[in-house]
Amino acid sequence: MNTVPPIFITSAIPYVNAEPHLGHALELVQSDAVARYQRALGRDLRFCSGTDDNSLKNVRAAALSNTTPAELVARNGAEFRHLAEVLHVSHDDFIHTASDPRHVPAVHALWERCAANGDVYRKAYRGLYCVGCESFLRESDTVAGACPAHPEPLEVLEEENWFFRLSRYGAAIQAAIAKDELQILPIERKNEVRQFVAGGLEDFSISRSRARAKGWGVPVPGDDAQIVYVWFDALANYLSVLGFPESDAFTHYWQNASERWHVIGKDILRFHAVYWPAILLSAGLKLPTSIRAHGFVTSHGQKLGKSLGNAVDPFRLVGKYGVDAVRYYLLCHLHTTKDSDFREDLLQAAYSAELAGKLGNLLQRVCALCVQHEVQIDPEIALDLGLCEAAAHARTAVDAAVRSFALHDALRSIFELVAAGNRFVDSHAPWQLGKARTALGATPEQRARATGVLQHCLSNLVRVLLVSAELLTPFLPSTADTIRARLLPAPSLGTPLFPPLG
């Protein structure tokens, strides 16, 4: 029986009003790296994602495409699921909120728990609504009367809706954050949430009229004239994907889990760090233990997006450079929690100079020398002092980087170990040792000594590559598998790990 405390990890579920772009790929590979790292530690883990199908954005996109919302979310939702597969994302489950039979019962059960606790009431409301955010905005949230994140003009909406008593939970949320029972990473995002909550929480609408929703979405329990607000609906996916309210998976991976992590974009932090905890407190359910907010992928400083006309196609990049080259660039060359500009020329440079030039070249040189000189390799050798220190530093640095959600630092630490391996090759010149074994006039003792030194040198290098593969596994799983296959049970020649770009 597995006695390791369970852990539940999710990425956000994106709107599917358009096809996925590179920003979506970033979150998928970040959350996958975090989940794979925890699995490597032997954790009992469940890793889930999905698509947010029930938004007004999807309804309007369907109308513009002369199709139905159901057809649009099915088509685009399939593309998001396919992107996860193309990127080798290791989901245990993937939910489509419009079509998965688990979702509506979970939304209704969550709503009814909040209502039973006295936190759902009805009132008339008038406010500024951003369709891009799918949220009402306070005047203080706007910049020159507009949403700072979306170009579409704000809509003035007035209707009678169901509301949630968010104002009731400010103190409890503040306390959870202060004690790090609700951890928010990075620290600037934590401070942002604390400041928002300290300013006072207002109750928020959790429904919209069926007419405004065009009949699309989850009906409010007991009120068919209203549709559940998309964020209440969407946040519930973290429970519905586990079979809430009645399932062993929900009990095990949510209520009994030692950790519940959400990997999200910084633009939806408030929903996850304020609204979601309040809803869970109202429903009598456990809170997330960690919310990890990543930065945006930008182009010339502007967030990527279909509506902005600067979206980058991740499928094309994977087709051109390979899945692990794209994963490497996203995880290493884009800062995990800050905005980072994407440039394809830098992706090409990282591929050629780092993946092919440093890691791939080291593997190719070591395998070629091992095969050429037919020496017996000890893959479990105790590393020489310098390499041993480099390997120990890499392990410690990678663990610290993953814990602090600085995945770019984790990759850079691993490649510092690869660099140490390359320096070891240059300083020990194993090709010279190989020549000494077969030099004319060399005595048997000289040949034996050269053979022993060569064996020790190449065994160290094989060991460095195997440690590098172990550390790379959560980040570049295919690359790690290829390195192991090339080195075990004995080094063998093969095609380059990262062939030249053609």
Catalytic residue among 48, 147, 332, 367: 147
SS3 state at 483: helix
Task: Decide: residue 310, CB within 10 A, 0-12 exposed, 13-18 middle, 19+ buried.
Answer: middle
SS3 state at 495: coil
Active site residue 48: no
How many CB atoms are located within 10 Å of the residue 466 CB? 18
Radius of gyration of the chain (CA): 26
User: CB under 8 Å to 305, separation ≥6 — which residues?
Assistant: 21, 23, 311
Are the C-beta atoms of residues 200 and 140 closer than 8 Å to each other? no
Active site residue 456: no
Catalytic residue among 48, 91, 103, 133: 133
Q: How many CA atoms lie within 13 A of 80 on its CB side?
A: 30
Residue that is written with structure tokens 């956000």 in the block: 12
Active site residue 367: no
Catalytic residue among 130, 332, 367, 457: 130
Active site residue 130: yes
Active site residue 133: yes
Report the distance separating Cα 254 and Cα 7, nearest Å.
Answer: 8
In sequence order, what are the beta bridge partners of 10?
A: 48, 262
Active site residue 147: yes
DSSP 373-422: HTPPP-TTPPPPHHHHHHHHHHHHHHHHHHHTT-HHHHHHHHHHHHHHHH
Alpha helix (H) ranges present in 404-476?
A: 407-428, 430-438, 444-472
Residues classed as catalytic: 21, 24, 130, 133, 147, 150, 303, 306
